[in-house]
Structure formats: structure tokens, C-alpha cells
Amino acid sequence: MQSISYTITENHKFAQHIAHMKKILILGAGKSSIYLIDYLVEHAAAENWEITVGDISAELAFVKTKGRTHTTAVTFDIKDEAARKATISAHDVVISMLPATLHTTIAEDCLELGKNLVTPSYISPAMKAMNEAVTAKGLIFMNEMGLDPGIDHMSAMQIIDHLQSQGKKILSFRSHCGGLVAPESDDNAWHYKFSWNPRNVILAGQGDGGIKWKEDGAVQEIHYHQLFSHVSTIDLQEDGIYDSYPNRDSLKYISEYHLDDIETMYRGTLRMPPFCEAWDCLVQLGLTAPTGKCNFTTKEDAIEQLALQERPEIQYMLEEIGTFDERNFPHDVHPADSLQKLLETKWKMRPEDKDLVVMVHEIEYQDGEDVKRIQSSLYIKGTNGEHTAMALTVGLPLAIVTKLILKDQISLKGVLMPKHKEIYEPVMKELEEYGVKFKEVES
């Protein structure tokens, strides 16, 4: 009887263990997923989690899980609706690392099946439209939870909330972020290598929403073909000098950041000079266009169009990547596709290469009769070509907020971004333990 009683008790405990187990589904095992997966696996035993990584390539998913305990690697084909829904249904929270255009499909399934969702991408109009239904179901759809967007929001709101709690009036907000190459791995004239999705780099500034910001009380709006000629310079002193070009629509963050009467609101993307000047040439030549054909016929034609006779450094940069070799841009392939294929070879990170993440906020505020300025900056190098600073700063915020959701430590519901104190405070505090720490200088 004793042995039978013992077995029943142990079975009961095991059943309870299974009942309280939380299941996490990660969709996409690309460049930015390694720290996300490793963090969740490291906490899996203590938190009673099971982690499934799904990718169109099950082999790639397995490489990232390393076959560790509490992990499963599976093939995930978003076009297979039945299998897709069955996989999502079996989990408590879904982390979508898929291309942003695919998030809506996953979100619709999560809403139907009652599952929480986390993504690193901007809140799209389609995602935003789900807010009422998501809230009604008591779910969390956490978006903009990576580096940029993500850490930029959280670190900015820490400063903004602190200043406003002291009654300070914020006059100007400028924020800049870039995923770059570390100086010791910088071996091309563009001072750039891919540490994240190359497609997003090729198409940067294109798409819906326009390019808008506010400068000294006046709204500024430009077209895509003007983007890379509207560049400002950021001097981080010992950390270097960078160019910043406008990042999408900055105006929508005026209300999100509670800065309704602010005079200047700007969000930008950082590059090492003279990247923007040379990339502007690619834009003018039509080589970043996702459809159509390029705007030049011969090298001589391009040199004349762009007045490269007077800009030998820029001409060298264009020649270095093979811009004028017609074999790189066949007529039956859209220019952006050809450019992406070309640059994925030219700007590929080697296994020993290190990347660099730089973020800086520049905030001016009224303090009595004085105008004061805060510069808050983040400078992080990666370890190697796999364990990149980009993967760390995208993956860790996603992982930490997933933990908070599973532990019921976020009371807010609906379609969210991490601008709220109950989200950014614990996430930023834990990120500091991993070296994600801002340096603040006030003047």
C-alpha cells in the first residue's frame, strides 16, 4: 500500500507541475533571437517554462535551442493556417520575431485563441485597430519592445517622467539610434556591416507614414528622395562623431511621450559619416527602389548625374560595393533586391567581427530662468558575429517583458508599447545587469 500511495502522490505532484507549466512560442530564429532564446532557457527550470522555437527552417531553430532541456525546435510555416493555429493554441504567449508585415496574421490568431503576444516592431494601424478587442479579452499585445523601438522608449520615458514629476517643462527632445560596426571590425569605406535584417536597411525611410518631425515649433516633412541629405551631426566625444537622418514619423511620439507643447521632437537613425552622403547617391540612382528599374545606364552617366568628379571619396565608396558593374543589377530584377543581394555579401559580419549599438537622447528643459540640457547615451559592443550587441539589445527586452507577462506583473491590457512605468522600470533595471546602462551628462 505504501508504494502505491507514494506513486499516486508523485503522479499528483507531476500533474500539478504540468498544470502550472507555462509554454512560450518564439516564431523566427534569425539574427536577433539568440539572447532572447538563451535568457528564456536559462530561466525555464526555475519558472517552469517550456520553450518552442519555430522557424521555416527547423534546423535553424534547433541550432538556436542547441537541443537543451525545456526546448523544442519545430518547422513553422505561416502559410499553413491549420498548423499555425494549432501551434499557437498550444502556448501561453507568442513572441513574433517574424518580418513586421507578418505580425498581423499572428496577432489575429492570438486574439482568436486568447494568447498574449510580444513583438519588437512598430505598432501598425492593423495592430492598433485590435486594441479594443484585445483589452476586452484581458490580453497583452506588447509591441515596440526591442532596441529601436523599445529601449529608446523606455530610457526616454525614465527621463521625461522624472523631469515632469519635478515640474520641469521639456522644450526639446532629440533621440538617435544606430546599429553599426565596432571600430576594430571596421574594414570598409562605408563603416558599416549588417547586424540585423538587411531588408530593413535597404528600404529604410520608405513605406507608409511619411518622414516628419518638429523643429523649433514648425513641422518638417520631407519625401524619401530627400531623406539622406537631411543629416545632422552628433558628437559623443570619446565615443565618436555620427550622422543622424530622420527616422519615420516622429510626430506621433509627441502624444505618446506626453510632450504636447514641445517645440522640437526628432527621432533619428545613426550612421558613421559619410555613409549618408553615399547612400543618398544610391537613392538618386534608383538602386533602393523595390520596383521598377535604376535611373542610370552607364558609369559615366551616373558620375555626371551625381557630380562625382568633385566627390572622389563618395565615388570610391560606390565603386567598392560594385555599384557601376551592370552584372550586379540585371534588368529583370528590381533594384532593391539586387542591392540587397550585393550588400549581403559585401557587408557580411565575419565570425570574429564585433558590432556596435549607439543610442543617444538630447533633452532640453526649462529650470526656472535657465535652460538645461541632458545627454543620455548608450554605447555597447558585441562579443562576436553571432553574439551581437544588436541581438542583445533586441532580444533581452523581449525576454524580460515575457517573464513579466507570465508572472502576471503587468496590469495593463490591450495593444501596448513600453512607455508605462510599470513596464519600463523593471525592464530597464534588469537590463543594467547585462551592461545595458546609459551614461548621463547634464549641462
In a domain, 38, yes or no: yes
Detail the DSSP E strand segments found in 295-345.
Answer: none
Check residue 207 and give its pLDDT.
78
* 21 within domain boundaries: yes
Q: What is the pTM of this model?
A: 0.90
**Has residue 394 been placed in a domain?**
yes
**Which residues have CB under 8 Å from 171's CB, separation 6+?**
262, 263, 264, 364, 365, 366, 371
User: Per the domain annotation, does 13 fall within a domain?
Assistant: yes
CATH number (domain holding residue 411) = 3.40.50.720
Residue type, 384: N
* DSSP letter assigned to residue 249: B
**Count of structural domains, the chain:** 1
Tell me what pLDDT residue 235 has: 87
Answer yes or no: is 393 within a domain: yes
**288 assigned to some structural domain:** no
Residue 108: inside a domain, yes or no? yes
Look at residue 441 and tell me if it is in a domain: no
Give strand pairing partners of 117.
94, 141
CB neighbour list of residue 362: distance below 8 Å, 6 or more residues apart: 172, 173, 174, 175, 176, 234, 373, 374, 375
How far from 33 is each of 25, 61, 175, 431, 439, CA to CA, in Å?
Answer: 12, 10, 25, 16, 26
Grid cell locating 145:
519592445
Quote the pLDDT of residue 11.
Answer: 47
Q: Provide block-wise average pLDDT over 10 residues at a time, the chain (443 residues).
A: 37 48 94 94 96 94 93 95 96 95 96 98 95 98 97 98 96 97 96 91 87 96 95 84 94 95 97 97 96 91 94 97 94 95 96 96 94 95 95 97 97 97 98 95 91
Q: Residue 134: give the domain boundaries.
A: 2-146+388-434
User: Cα(376)–Cα(158) distance, rounded to whole angstroms?
Assistant: 11
